[in-house]
């Protein structure tokens, strides 16, 4: 019978019964175990972390797993507003309900994303590196929304050409150095456009008609917020992978970037059409 090692597990810390209690270690061997390929010093079971060691071909993301739905954004007189909910859906399961999909790049730019959450985290890391390099140059000049937009266009198109796309639709919003507002959308295969109002996902069908009818570049902040709230209500009513928990980012020349705390909107479920929505549908009961 092997004697109980007197020292704790180096892998797990003091007072924790780790792998060393199950296998012979330096306490009972003539010589300590030597490190090998994927063989920890603690004697724990090897864990293959190198894809080459698995003898499997490289795997690409064929379908997104944890996803965010629509992003909505509009220009107004003093800046831009971007809004989205905080849901990370696992298929049709509303799994993660506090996922922030708004990323502050700097004092003049915000990026929001729909699609695969892990791919957006990777994009956030790329933007972190970009802004860190920009800060290190120390020339007093910040990246503009137009430059961030152009960078993301190249990133998305580059990954598309590798047949390993990032499964996201990105919205870039901010204020240019001359004070003009900027809004742009970048798709997962590098398609992109700029406009006075942009949307992604299901909001292209649900919210864009409202924006075409009511949005103006010279509208007040109150009008822009009310328009955004109305569009988010419509998306919540009609999109099954949406929840009533939203965040709004505001970018202005004077105030910089502000991202709101999560909030809920007032909803009504007593509309006449909601009482029996399939009454006149073909094949309905």
**Helices 145-161 & 117-137, crossing angle to 10 degrees?**
130
CA atoms of 103 and 111, how far apart (whole Å): 5
Q: Is the dihedral of CA 208, 210, 213, 219 positive or negative?
A: negative
Q: Using CA atoms, how far apart are residues 64 and 41, in angstroms rounded to an integer? A: 37
Nearest to 157 by CA among 170, 166, 149: 166
In whole angstroms, what is the distance from residue 77 CA to residue 181 CA?
9
Residue 41 to residue 52: CA distance in whole angstroms: 22
Which residues fall within 8 angstroms of residue 113, CB to CB, at 6 or more apart?
68, 71, 101, 103, 120, 123, 168, 169, 170, 171
Query: Is residue 42 flagged as an active site residue?
Result: no
In the set 61, 93, 191, 194, the catalytic residue is: 61
Contact present, 68 and 89 (Cβ < 8 Å): yes
Just list the catalytic residues: 61
């Amino acid at each position: 019978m092997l004697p109980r090692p007197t020292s704790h597990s180096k892998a797990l810390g003091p007072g924790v019964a780790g792998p060393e209690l199950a296998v012979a270690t330096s306490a009972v061997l003539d010589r300590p175990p030597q490190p090998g390929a994927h063989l920890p010093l603690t004697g724990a079971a090897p864990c293959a972390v190198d894809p080459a060691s698995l003898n499997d071909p490289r795997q690409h993301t064929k379908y997104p797993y944890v996803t965010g739905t629509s992003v909505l954004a509009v220009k107004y007189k003093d800046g831009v507003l971007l809004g989205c909910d905080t849901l990370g859906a696992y298929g049709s399961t509303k799994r993660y309900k506090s996922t922030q999909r708004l990323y502050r790049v700097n004092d003049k730019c915000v990026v929001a994303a729909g699609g695969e959450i892990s791919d957006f985290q990777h994009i956030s890391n790329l933007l972190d590196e970009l802004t860190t390099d920009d800060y290190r140059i120390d020339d007093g000049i910040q990246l503009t929304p137009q430059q961030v937009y152009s960078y993301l266009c190249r990133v998305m198109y580059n990954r598309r050409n590798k047949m390993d796309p990032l499964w996201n639709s990105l919205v870039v919003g901010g204020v240019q150095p001359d004070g003009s507002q900027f809004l742009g959308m970048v798709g997962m295969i590098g398609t992109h456009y700029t406009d006075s109002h942009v949307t992604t996902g299901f909001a292209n069908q649900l919210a864009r008609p409202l924006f075409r009818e009511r949005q103006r570049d010279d509208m007040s902040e109150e009008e822009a917020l009310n328009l955004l709230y109305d569009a988010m209500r419509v998306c919540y009513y009609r999109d099954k992978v949406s929840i009533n928990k939203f965040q709004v980012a505001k970018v202005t020349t004077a105030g910089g970037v502000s991202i709101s705390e999560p909030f809920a909107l007032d909803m009504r479920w007593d509309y006449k059409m909601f009482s029996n929505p399939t009454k006149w549908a073909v094949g309905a009961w």
